[in-house]
Amino acid sequence: MFILQNYAIAVIFCVITMLCWGSWANTQKLAGKRWRFELFYWDYVIGVLIASLIFAFTMGSLGDHGRGFLDDLAQASPANLGSALLGGVIFNAANILLVAAIALAGMAVAFPVGIGMALVIGVVVNYIAQPEGQPIMLFGGVALIASAIILDAMAYRRLPGQGTSRGALGLILAVLCGILMGFFYRFVAAAMSPEFTEMEPEKLSPYTAMVLFALGIFLSNFVFNTAIMLKPFKGEPIAPAEYFRGTRQDHLWGAVGGMIWAVGMMFSIIAFGVAGPAISYGLGQGATMVAALWGVFVWKEFKEAPKDTDPLIALMFIGYVLGLALIIAAGMQ
C-alpha cells in the first residue's frame, strides 16, 4: 500500500484534507434550493463509499509496504473493524447535523462553530490517547482557534434575523455537531496500526479503516437520514420515493460532494502514520477557515451585516491562520 514517511509531505496531505473538508459543502449549495439537503445527503454518502473503495483497490493494494486491502481485511479483528465502523456512525450523526445547520444558518456560521468545536475537542481527545507533538504549541493553536469560534459567533449575532427560531436552531445544531464530530476520529484512529511500515497484527491499514468507516456512514444513514426526512428540521416531511425523482445533476452534486470529502479523510488518515492523530485531525479541521472564506467571499453570507462586523471577521481569520500555524509547528519539535 502507499504510505508516507516524511512530515513535510504529511503536512501537505493535511492541507489537502483542509481544502476538501472546507469545500465539499459548496456542492450542496450548487444542487439548488429545490433539492432538499436530506435528498442531497443520500448521494453524498454513496459518494463517500465509492471513493473509499476506489482508494482501497488502488493506493491500498499497490506498493511494497504494509498489507494489501483484501489481506488486511481478512486478518483484522472484529473489535478493530467495529471501532472503524462506529467512527462512521458517530460521524454520520454529526455530519447530518452540520448539513442541517448549513441549510439554516449558512456555511460561514455552521462550519466555524460546528467544526471549530470539533477541532478543539478532537485534538484534546486524540492527544490524550496518543500524545505526539509539542503540547504548548499544539494547545496554543487550539486556543487561538477557539477564540476565532467566539469571534465568528459574535459576528453572526450582528446579522439581521439571527434571533429568529430558524437562525437559533442552526446555531444549536452546529454546536451539537461539534460535540459529536470531536469524537469520531478517535474510533477510526484506534482501529488502525500506529505504524504503517510494520503493521500490527489485527489492526487496520488506513485504507481498510476508511472502507469500514464509510460503511458505517452508509448503514447508519438508513436510520438517521430516514428519520430526518420524515421529521425534518426545516420544511415539510419528505417521502423516500422523492429521491428517485431527482435529475442526474441533482444526484451528481451529492456524489461529488461525498467524494471530495472522502479524499480529505483518506489523506488525513494516511498522514496519521507520520504526524500522529492529534495533528492530522487538527490540521484537517482547519476546514473551518476554508468554509468561512467560501461563505464570506463567494456566497456573501455576511453581506447584510453592519460594516463594523468586518473587523470581527478579519480577526476570526487571523485567529485561524495563527492557530493552524502553531499546530503545524507542534509536529516539528
CA 16 to chain centre: 12
- Which amino acid is residue 56, in one-letter code? A
In a domain, 140, yes or no: yes
Give Cα 96 distance to the centre of its chain. Answer: 11
> Has residue 119 been placed in a domain?
yes
Residue 194 lies in a domain: yes
47 sits in the region (left: phi over 0; alpha: psi -120 to 50; else beta) called: alpha
- In this structure, what C-alpha cell is assigned to residue 307? 460594516
User: Does 210 reside within a domain?
Assistant: yes
**Whole domain around residue 188: which residue ranges?**
7-330
Give the global pTM: 0.87
CA distance 238 to 246: 13
pLDDT of residue 63: 84
Residue 39, domain member (yes or no):
yes
pLDDT score at 267 = 96
d(CA 218, CA 89): 8
> What pLDDT, on the 0 to 100 scale, is given for residue 103?
74
- pLDDT tens, the chain, 333 aa long: 999 989 999 999 999 999 998 898 899 888 877 898 899 999 999 999 999 999 999 999 998 888 999 999 999 999 999 999 999 999 999 988 987 887 777 766 777 788 778 888 988 898 998 898 899 999 999 899 888 878 877 887 787 765 555 667 888 888 899 999 999 999 999 999 988 888 999 999 999 999 999 999 999 999 999 999 999 877 899 999 999 999 999 999 999 999 999 999 999 999 988 988 888 988 887 777 887 788 888 888 788 888 889 999 999 899 988 998 898 899 885
- pLDDT at position 163 is 54
324 part of a folded domain: yes
User: What is the residue-averaged pLDDT of the chain?
Assistant: 89
| C-alpha distance from residue 128 to each of 79, 203, 245 (Å) | 21, 20, 47
User: DSSP for 306-326?
Assistant: -GGGHHHHHHHHHHHHHHHHH
DSSP H helices in the chain = 7-23, 26-30, 37-57, 69-75, 78-105, 107-110, 116-129, 135-157, 165-191, 206-230, 248-275, 277-284, 287-293, 310-330
Contact 50, 259 (CB under 8 A): yes
Name the domain count of the chain: 1
* Res 37: pLDDT: 84
Residue pair 161/302 in contact by the 8 Å Cβ criterion: no
Compute the distance between CA of residue 184 and CA of residue 172 in angstroms, rounded to an integer. Answer: 19
With respect to residue 1, please indicate whether it lies within any of the assigned structural domains: no
For the segment 279-316, what is each residue's pLDDT rounded down to a tens digit?
898 888 777 788 778 888 888 878 888 888 999 999 98
Per the domain annotation, does 2 fall within a domain?
A: no
Give the pLDDT of residue 166: 66
- Asked if 260 and 23 touch (Cβ cutoff 8 Å), the reply is yes
Reported as a single tens digit per residue, the pLDDT across 34-68 is: 898 899 999 999 999 999 999 999 999 998 888 99
pLDDT of residue 108: 65
Closest CA to 46 of 257, 255, 246: 255
